[in-house]
Amino acid sequence: MRRLAANIAFLILAFAVQNCIFPFIPFLSAAPNLVLIMTFSYGFIYGPEEGSIYGFIAGLLMDLFYSSGAFGFFALFFMWIGYMNGRLSRYYYENFITLPLLLCTVNEFLYNSYVWVTRFFIRGKTDIVFYFLNIILPEIIISLLFTLLIYRFFLWYNRKLEDLDRRKAVG
Amino acid sequence: MGLTVKLSNSKLILIILSILCVVMIGATTVKDELLSPVRTAFGYFLEPVQSGVNRVGRSLYNNIKDREKLKTALEDNRKLEARINELLMENTRLEEDRFELDRLRALYELDRKYGQYRMVGARVIAKDAGGWFQVFRIDKGSADGIRADMNVMAGGGLVGIVTDVGANYATVRSIIDDVSRVSGMGMQSGDTCIVSGDLKLYEQGELKLSDITDTADIKEGDKIVTSTVSSKYLPGILIGYVKEIRTDPARLTRSGTLIPAADFGTLQEVLVVLDLKSEMHEKPTGAEAGISAGTVSGADEASAGGAGEEAGTGEDPGPADASESGAEDAAGSAGGAGDSAASAGSGASETAAAAEETAAAREDRREDTSSEARNEGRGADTAPEAREEGRGADTSPEARDEGRETEERVREPERPEPLEVRADEPAGNGEAAPSEEPFAEIVREDTQAAPETEPAEMVESPPAAP
């Protein structure tokens, strides 16, 4: 339960940092999608059940911000991202960083494709090459960088939490 | 732990939540305000987090900035001293100019109105981090008097519109967002156009300009302001400057690009205009009935099929008392001093005379003015300042027929104004007549093809024949 609360708090913090700090840094042309990184990391580490719950919460946060009429748009997507990455958690191995980076790339691509198809393609804005080069690719690159940092941080604080729990059980 | 229960039937939960999401998407697409209590409740909790984090980020960034600035401070100081002297001299000169400006401004209706808007400043606390959406959140909400559909400005130009309001926050959609559509007009000519956001163009710092009629007097370098026919945007707010214009392949309309006046890259503080366009003609007047009469007769004319005279007679049973009052208004103000409404009314009567050449042109123009009447007529004779909006009502078919009779009287006090150019223009040449119809078609198709745009936004485009 403590883990759930801590993880949700981190999720909210990541959401706030993503929207309140990164866009205001003038020399940064793209910002990392921290919420997505958190979601797939949670899913990958904790499995599909928790992954989909965190994903749902992450999506709700996004929905609250983008009030463009279709509430639940992001909740639906992030929930499935959490779930699907959770299915891969059997390959989870602490010091194996390559797979998270690969997951990051795939998830970023899925997320951006989802937005592009549902919000742009159906309105006739079909130039995927332009959108890919100008929006999707920069976001993937910077998100990869942040995945390295955030994923390490998760591993570290997860171990801390587990240590605490173990000590409690013993004591 | 509650989690253990969930573990056993995780797929069931996933499916239930998925269905919930789909239902919510459907429900809020149809009726957006369904979930606004939830949003507001979350906003109470989320806003402090967001503005707190934003403050930390801002102070960090400002610290770095300050350090950089210190390095150059001494040099800057010397330069600035010299500049102060320069400015003092300039100031005295400008003060003289100000009196002149005040006089000129009194003449210039748009500017005068511009200054009358009540505004409140707000800080941008959150923006979309990804590149897809151009929405941001400000730290003022309904508690500060902000409501949905209020216009947002910065740096003297239009920035966007409030789409969603909580108690202490509001979400603003920029005009550079890909789904944004603003109805604009050339400041000099009053010819309408549509300014829409385009992600692709915004990479070069531009907006899309479209739906300019073939004959409209809009050229490169012109100022584009928000149009008077817009349902959500207040009239006369600067949007930007025309960068380039070219004729569309169909040769009926022109389109181009526009450089926005506001700087969207470094947006930190914005001004929210507290006046709502929808309240500018709140009082229901007789003219409102005239609007419906006008549209109905417009439809009759369309079905009458080109026979100008027939259309003219078919119109007669149409008039409600309201359009009569509109005619009275036109006649009355024509008798008075050179009011703007007067010149508009007479301008319309002039076009009426000119249009007798071609029946087709006439029919077309009538549609045009009747649709305008629908938009504008509500403001007629509510307040003296609403006169300008009343123009549409004055040019309603009935008013025009009246106006033609009083043409001789009217023409004398009249002064050539941009409004006249605008009223004249569709009838000016007969060839322009067919061009209006496909144009209307295009607009309608566009709005239908874009289900993402909110219904109210569709009204932005000049309404076609019913």
Task: Give per-residue pLDDT as tens, B317-340.
Answer: 433 343 444 444 444 443 433 344
Contact of B270 with B343, CB cutoff 8 Å: no
Nearest by CB to residue A48, choosing from B10, B21, B178, is B10
Pick A67's closest partner by Cβ from B39, B129, B268: B39
| A53, A64, A79 ranked by CB distance to B18: nearest | A79
Residue B402, in any domain of the structure: yes
Does A9 lie at the interface with B, CB-CB under 8 angstroms?
no
Question: Per the CB < 8 Å rule, is B3 touching A49?
Answer: yes
Cα separation, B405 vs B410, whole angstroms: 9
8-state DSSP, A135: I
- What mean pLDDT comes out for the span B415-420? 39
Q: Is the pLDDT of residue B51 over 60?
A: yes
- Average pLDDT rounded to a whole number, residues B186-200: 87
Report pLDDT digits (tens) over B145-172: 999 899 998 877 899 999 888 888 899 9
Q: Between chains, do B22 and A72 touch, taking CB under 8 Å as contact?
A: yes
Min distance B425 CA to chain A CA atoms (Å): 33
How confident is the model at residue A67, as a pLDDT?
Answer: 59
- Which residue among A19, A30, A52 sits closest to B14, beta carbon to beta carbon? A52
- In the block, tokens 């559509």 appear at B181
| Rounded average pLDDT over B113-127 | 78
What average pLDDT does this structure show over B126-143? Answer: 87
Establish if B148 belongs to a structural domain.
Answer: no
pLDDT tens, residue by residue, B365-391: 444 444 444 444 343 343 444 344 434
Listed by number, the residues of chain A in 117-156 with a beta carbon closer than 8 Å to a beta carbon of chain B are: 119-120, 122-125, 127, 130-131, 134-135, 138-139
User: Is A64 within 8 Å of B46 when comparing Cβ atoms?
Assistant: yes
Residue written as token pair 């797979």:
A99
C-alpha–C-alpha distance, residues B126 and B132, integer Å? 15
Q: Which of B58-62, B152-156, B163-167, B409-413 has the lowest mean pLDDT?
A: B409-413
CB A116 within 8 A of CB B178: no
Assess if residue B188 is contained within a domain.
no
| In the predicted structure, residue B304 carries a pLDDT above the cut 80 | no
Interface test with B, best of A1, A3, A21 (most B CBs within 10 A): A21
A129 to chain B: nearest residue by CA? B200
Chain B residues with CB-CB distance to A139 below 8 A: 130-131
What pLDDT does A57 receive?
Answer: 92
pTM: 0.60
Does B390 fall in a domain?
yes
pLDDT, tens only, B423-434: 333 333 433 334
pLDDT recorded at residue B320: 39
Residues of A with Cβ-Cβ distance to B19 under 8 angstroms = none
CB contact under 8 A, A127 and B178: no
Range of the structural domain that residue A127 is part of? 2-170
Residue in chain B closest to A78 (alpha carbons) equals B18
Query: How many Å lie between the alpha carbon of B61 and the closest alpha carbon of chain A?
Result: 8
Backbone φ, ψ for residue B3 (5° rounding): -65, -35
Residue B123 has pLDDT above 60, yes or no: yes
Q: Return the residue of A nearest to B178 by Cα.
A: A120
Per the domain annotation, does B465 fall within a domain?
no
Distance CA B25, CA B201 (A): 29
Is the pLDDT reported for residue B217 higher than 80? yes
Q: In A, which residues are within 8 Å of B10 by CB distance?
A: 48-49, 52
Does residue B118 fall inside a structural domain?
A: no
Of A17, A34, A70, the CB nearest to B25: A70
pLDDT for the residue A171:
61
| Number of CB pairs, chain A paired with chain B, less than 8 A apart | 172
Strands (E), B175-206: 181-186, 192-196
State whether B132 and A120 contact (CB < 8 Å): yes
B126 CB burial (10 A radius; 0-12, 13-18, 19+): buried
Question: CA–CA separation, B421 vs B216, rounded Å?
Answer: 10
Q: Averaged over B455-464, what is the pLDDT?
A: 41
Q: For chain B, what is the domain count?
A: 1
| Nearest CB neighbour to B129, from listed A1, A18, A72 | A18
Lowest mean pLDDT across A131-140, B15-24, B351-360: B351-360
β strands within B112-267, DSSP E: 119-127, 135-138, 151-154, 157-165, 170-174, 181-186, 192-196, 207-213, 223-226, 238-247, 253-260
CB nearest B24 (choices: A17, A19, A71): A71
Give the domain extent around B336. 281-430
Residues of chain B neighbouring A71 (CB-CB closer than 8 A): 24-25, 27-28, 34-35
| Residue B280 pLDDT class (50, 70, 90 cuts) | confident
B114 — pLDDT class (breaks 50, 70, 90)? low
Task: Select from B453, B390, B146 the least CA-distant residue to B276.
Answer: B146
Give residue A25's region: left, alpha or beta (phi > 0; psi -120 to 50): beta
What gap in Å lies between CA B313 and CA B338, rounded to an integer? 31
- B217 found inside a domain: no
Chain A, residues 26-65, CB within 8 A of chain B, namely: 26, 30-34, 48-50, 52-53, 56, 59, 61, 64-65
What are the tokens at B44?
């109470």
- Within a domain: B323: yes
> Minimal Cα distance from B138: which residue of A?
A20
Nearest CA-CA distance, residue A71 and chain B, Å: 5
Other CB atoms closer than 10 Å to residue B105's CB: what's the count?
A: 15
B224 three-class SS: strand
| Range picked from A139-143, B438-442, B462-466 for highest mean pLDDT | A139-143
CA-wise closest residue to B186 among B424, B419, B372, B448: B419
What mean pLDDT, rounded, does chain B reach? 65
| Distance to chain A for B283, nearest Cα, Å | 30
Chain A CB contacts of B23 under 8 Å are 72
Number of independent structural domains in chain A: 1
Beta carbons within 8 Å of B430's beta carbon, 6+ residues apart: B357, B358, B360, B361
Considering only residues B80 and B318, tell me which one the structure prediction assigns the higher pLDDT.
Answer: B80
ipTM higher than 0.85?
Answer: no
Cβ–Cβ of B454/A17 closer than 8 Å? no
Cβ <8 Å between A112 and B132: yes
Please, what are the averages of pLDDT over each run of 10 residues along chain A (171 residues)? 86 89 79 91 89 91 76 90 90 81 93 90 87 90 90 84 81 61
Q: Which residues of B264-281 are buried (b: 16+ CB within 10 A; e: fewer)?
A: beebeebbbbeebbeebb
